[in-house]
Amino acid sequence: MAGNRTFTMIKPDAVEKGHIGAILEQITASGFRIVAMKLTQMTSRDAEKFYEVHSERPFYGELVEFMSRGPIVAAILEKENAVEDFRTLIGATNPEDAAEGTIRKKYAASVGENAVHGSDSDENAQLEGAFHFAGREMF
């Protein structure tokens, strides 16, 4: 089953702008089943850990501050080929490069405040899902 799951966050910018409903609608209409979901907020320590792989990058401090500044929707999603198909659905990291109709094209403001997260591998999907959810919160 792990290969059919991915992890997403609707980031603070998209929550602030009231896009939770529209983004969830696009995700479920694209064939993803919601396995786990919650409205939550990361502490700056949580965001540092979640994005540890980027700790040497110049945008790390800004990213941690952004991702912990307000609530997010965290979710585990299931679909055949989930990781790759979800990356296609959200579009490129920079909304200027994102394909028409993708979630980032529609809702992201910049390369930093880009509306949604999507795991980049099956292994990271598993780790990121477990970072936010206990086993009994997955259905």
The residues binding ligand UDP (CB under 6 A) are: 54, 59, 63, 93, 111-112, 114, 117, 120
Residue with smaller CB distance to ligand UDP, 35 or 47: 47
Closest CA to 6 of 78, 91, 72, 74: 78
Question: Which region among 10-18, 26-34, 98-106, 113-121 touches Mg ion (by CB under 5 A)?
Answer: 113-121
C-alpha distances in Å from residue 52, one per residue of 6, 60, 75 = 19, 9, 20
Q: How far apart are CA 115 and CA 19, in angstroms?
A: 9
- CB of 6 within 8 A of CB of 125? yes
Residue with smaller CB distance to ligand UDP, 71 or 112: 112
> How is residue 116 written in tokens?
């949604």
Q: Indicate if 117 belongs to the active site.
A: yes
Residue with smaller CB distance to Mg ion, 99 or 139: 99
Q: Compose the 65-104 pattern: x for residues touching Mg ion by CB under 5 A, - for all others.
A: ----------------------------------------
C-alpha distances in Å from residue 55, one per residue of 39, 49, 58, 60, 111 = 25, 9, 8, 6, 17
3 membership: H or E segment, kind and range:
none
Q: In angstroms, what is the minimal distance from the CB of 133 to ligand UDP? A: 19
> Which one of ligand UDP, Mg ion, none is in contact with 63 (Cβ closer than 5 to 8 A by kind)?
ligand UDP
The contact set with Mg ion (CB under 5 A) reads 120
> What residues are labeled active site?
117
